[in-house]
Amino acid sequence: MEDLKPWWASKAIWTGVIGSLWGIAAALGILPEGLTQADVLTVVLALTGIGSVVFRKTAKARIG
């Protein structure tokens, strides 16, 4: 039988949630001092892309 884990235990899900929150903050203009929307977009896209691949590769159980 395959191991299942709850959605909130998924590193890939949390990567997406955190990336989305930064994107929303950028869209609303509530970024920390010195950060531009372009800076945030570049970093968030890079980190969530890399994170999703790495976390999917290292996952031991499916989300159930």
Total number of domains in the chain: 1
Range of the domain at 26: 4-63
DSSP string, 1-52: ---EE-GGG-HHHHHHHHHHHHHHHHHHT-PPTT--HHHHHHHHHHHHHHHH
Query: What is the reported pLDDT for 56?
Result: 78
**pLDDT for 42:** 85
Return per-residue pLDDT of the chain as tens, 64 residues: 567 888 888 888 888 888 888 888 888 888 888 888 888 888 888 888 888 888 777 877 777 7
| 0.75 exceeded by pTM | no
Give the residue carrying structure tokens 């869209």: 27
The pLDDT assigned to 2 comes to 67
Q: Would you state the pLDDT for residue 41?
A: 80
Rounded Cα–Cα distance for residues 13 and 11 (Å): 5
Do 23 and 44 meet the contact criterion of CB atoms below 8 Å apart? yes
